[in-house]
Amino acid sequence: MLGYLINTRIGAVMYNLFHHRAVGLAMAAAGLILQQEIVTAIGTLLFAHSSFDRIMGYGLKYPDDFKHTSLGWVGNK
């Protein structure tokens, strides 16, 4: 979210990086392989958070507007 203080393009890239479910899965898998419980926990939480966002209707962001997501427009346009 701090990327949006710079501009919408940087904000969307940063948001999408940390809200992509594959990142959470990869981190959890790496934690399991490396036997690092904290990395596994963080990866699991990232995956769960991203999945919950999708359930609530928040998709990955487009660079033109914070409310423009892969699942449509959030709120009133």
For the chain, 77 residues long, give each residue's pLDDT as a single digit of tens: 788 889 999 999 999 998 999 999 999 999 999 999 999 999 999 999 999 988 988 889 999 988 899 888 887 65
Distance CA 23, CA 31 (A): 12
Q: Please tell me the predicted confidence (pLDDT) of residue 70.
A: 87
Report the pLDDT value the prediction gives residue 27, as an integer from 0 to 100: 97
* Contact by Cβ (8 Å): 50, 22: no
Residue 59 is encoded by which pair of tokens?
A: 């998709």
Q: Rg of the chain over CA atoms, in angstroms? A: 14
Q: Which residue has the tokens 């419980």?
A: 37
